[in-house]
Amino acid sequence: MAGAYGEINSRVDFQRVLREATDFVRRVLARTPDNPIMKQILKELDAMKRWSENGRTPTEGERKRINVGLIAARELSETTGEVNKFAEKLSSLNNYFEDWPTDEQAASDTDDDDDDDNE
């Protein structure tokens, strides 16, 4: 059962899902290098990686600059299969990155908790 952050229940999960999403974008861009949507997504995923490397906590300003969830909802909402799974990963990554919960919070939060956690 997925919680508030989909398959992300810890920082380790976050880094894994971030790698998976980045790998997917790079594969798409290898086939269609001029895809502006995927270029923007890659730029944001790379920023998320830089801002969270080596245990670093992204600043509140950095966390607010990420829009991959919105891009996924707007540009990939009608997709199926692998692209739909990718869009779900982007939404989970965006929500997790924006909230930047502890491992304990990420593992225990549910979608019903969202209103309680927004500060």
- Domains of the chain: which residue ranges? 11-99
Report yes or no on whether pTM surpasses 0.75: yes
The dihedrals phi and psi of 42, each to the nearest 5 degrees, come to: -60, -40
- Nearest by Cα to 87 from 41, 36, 29, 35: 41
Q: Per residue of the chain (119 residues), what is the pLDDT tens digit?
A: 467 899 999 999 999 999 999 999 999 999 999 999 999 999 999 999 999 999 999 999 999 999 999 999 999 888 888 998 999 999 999 999 999 999 999 988 765 544 444 44
